[in-house]
Amino acid sequence: MRKVRYRDAIREAMSEEMRRDHTVFLMGEEVAEYDGAYKVSQGMLAEFGPKRVIDTPISELGFAGIAVGAAMNGLRPIVEFMTWNFAILAFDQIINGSAKMLSMSAGEFGNPIVFRGPQGAAGQLGAQHSQMLTNMLASVPGLKVISPSNGYDAKGLLKSAIRDNDPVMFMESEQMYSDQCELPDEEYLIPIGKCDIKRVGEHVTIVSYNKIMKIALQAAEELAKDGIEAEVIDLMTIRPLDIHTIIESVKKTNRCVIVDESWPFTSIASEITFQLQRYAFDHLDAPVRRVCGADTSMHYAQNLVEAYMPSVAKVVAAVKEVNYA
């Protein structure tokens, strides 16, 4: 095993797949000459050349449309958005084009694209650059949505996403790009559509994804000091959702807290809560609790950022509430 950063794991996944398959190419703002806004694509232009690592204008709708057309004609684009906040401009191509292409063409045209980039809060970036859009995209039939919490999972899932024949939304976090992880030298893939149990426990199930998994795991360590052993599940893939793994955990623990940076209304946490009450109601000894981002726009002030975001203290309080309900 060797230590690398999250950004390096993403780069390795893309580079390995581009060496394996000449139809794979990368496009986006500053991915080539500048080596990527977050240096995720560093060195890729030198290896693969300007026909396969392509700088685009600042026009998300335009280059997303180019990718949709390229995928219809046998290529496998990787589209990097500098942030998913900017990708809102491309939602017409993603939702009305890519997601619907296979069904609207009666199976004639597939759309094997990976749209990737960071999302969510990343410090004091204000309301328009701090949004968690996972739940919006996960609500669209035809899209697969992945949001890994560490570099090892990110590499294995991204390789699977690039090989997948459906459009995949690969949603990262710029706050994780410098995180260290361990990777094996040999190739590996992680299947799309499976959760991962990051910590085994018996008293409560905590479910999360993306960078908030750090909060969930830290909360589990704090709870262990009080004798509460939490089982922590990393969703990894949001759609398709591996609800079976969550249900089996809740059958054991009888309690569940979902930690989700999304706004609470129509959040990922809301959907999981519904499915648990539908399929695991008889196993619940307390209502499912959500710990979400605040139901408002993100503010710039540091104290308001902290008030907005899920925290270890909020998760611990929610777990103790369901544990003694």
Distances (CA, A) of 207 to 198, 210, 230, 289: 10, 11, 10, 11
Distance CA 314, CA 317 (A): 5
* Identity at 54, one-letter amino acid code: I
* Annotation says 129 is catalytic: yes
Please, are residues 233 and 197 in contact by the beta-carbon 8 Å criterion? yes
Measured in whole angstroms, how far is the alpha carbon of residue 113 from the centre of its chain?
Answer: 16
Report the SS3 class of residue 207.
strand
Report the SS3 class of residue 175.
helix
Q: Exposed e or buried b for every residue in 73-97, given b needs 16+ CB within 10 A? A: eebbbbbbbbbbbebbebbebbbeb
For the chain, the first-to-last Cα distance in angstroms comes to: 44
Q: Nearest-CA neighbor of 67 among 85, 48, 54, 82?
A: 54
Distance CA 238, CA 261 (A): 13
* Annotation says 229 is catalytic: no
From 12, 17, 29, 129, active-site residue: 129
Please, are residues 94 and 137 in contact by the beta-carbon 8 Å criterion? yes
Helix 312-323 with 213-224: angle, nearest 10 deg: 50
- Tell me the two tokens of residue 25: 């190419």
From 17, 29, 60, 80, active-site residue: 60
Report the SS3 class of residue 10.
helix
Active-site residue set? 60, 129
